[in-house]
Amino acid sequence: MLTGGLCQIGSHVVEMLLDRGDKVIAIDSLATGRREHLADHPNLTVLIDTIADKAVVDKLVGDFNPDAIVHTAASYKDPDDWYNDTLTNCVGGSNIVNAAKQFGVGRFIYFQTALCYGLKPTQSPVCLDHPRNNPVGSSYAISKTTNEFYLEFSGIDFVTFRLANVVGPRNVVGPRNVAGPRNVAGPLPIFYQRLKDGKQCFVTEARRDFVYVKDLARVVLKAIDGVGHGAYHFSSGKDIAIQELYDVVVNALDIPGKPKVEVKPLGPDDVFSILLDPSRTFADFGEIQFAPLQETVSAAMDYYQKHGTLGEYTHLRLEDKKK
C-alpha cells in the first residue's frame, strides 16, 4: 500500500512493484500528485481520498491487508498553511501509523526531510545521531518530524529515510524563488518554468546533494522486502553548487544563448551546505549506483516538456518573493 501514490516518489515505487508482479493499492488526494503518473494496471487500485480521514484509512488498511505500507504522502506547498501541514503530516500520518499497528502490517516505510536537523546542523556531513530537537525551519519539517516520533513510538517494524534533495520526473512543484539555499524542495521545475517563460533565474552560492528519484525507489523496494530497520540517510554523500545544477538544466534544454544565472551571496541565516552521511545506508543496503546528474536532469526536463509544472511553491518562509 502506498500513500501519495500519484506523487513523485510514490508513483515510481508503485511502477517498480507492479513490474515485479506485486498487487498495489495507492491513495492520493491530488494536492500535488497527478493521475496520469500511473497507467491503469490489473494489479493496481487507485483511491482518490485523504489520509486525514481515519475511517477511510482504517477501511483501506483493514480490507487490503497489506504486507507493507510505504508512506510518501505529505503536505508541503505553503509555509503558512499550518492547517494542511498538520492535517496531512500529523493527523494523516498518525492515522496511517496507527492503522499499520492495529492491523498488523509487517513493514512501514517513511520519508523524512533533512530539515529535521534544523537550518544550522552542528555536523557536516550530518550523522544519524544528530539531534532532531530543532526542526523549526518550516511547518513541513516540524510536522514531518512529529510523525516520525509517532512512528518510533508505535513499536512497529519500520524504515525511515531522511532524504537529500530528490529530483527527476514527476516533481511538479518548485520553490517560489531559488535564491536561498534552504530552497531545496524542487529547484528543477522552477528553473524549467522560468527559462521557458524567458525570465531570469537566480541562486545563491549554496551547495546541495541531489539524488535521482528512481535510485531512491530501488532502495525502497529493498526496504519493503525486509532490508534494514530504523533511520537511514538517502544521500550520495556528495554535494554540488546549485549554480551547477542550473547549468545542467540549461544544457539539457539546449536554450539558445545559454542564459546565465544571477548568483547572490548567502544571507545571514543561510547555510552553505547541508550534507547527510549515508554510511549506514551503504552498509545495510549495499552499493548504490547513483545516476549521473545530466541523466537525472534530462529525464526531468523531458517530463516537464510533456506535462508542465504545477507552479511555484516552497515549504520555507522566504525573505525575497519579488521575482
Q: What is the rounded average pLDDT of the residues 293-305?
A: 95
Q: Which of 320 and 119 is assigned the larger pLDDT?
A: 119
Rg (alpha carbons) of the chain, rounded to whole number: 19
Give pTM, 2 decimals: 0.90
Q: What is the pLDDT of residue 266?
A: 86
Cβ contact 130:121 at 8 Å: yes
The domain spans of the chain are 2-307
DSSP secondary structure letter of residue 290: P
Structure confidence by residue, pLDDT tens digits, 16-29: 999 999 999 999 99
Q: Is 2-307 a domain of CATH 3.40.50.720?
A: yes
Q: Which of 126 and 316 is assigned the larger pLDDT?
A: 126
Choose among 215, 221, 230, 232: nearest CA to 277. Answer: 232
pLDDT at 179 over 70: no
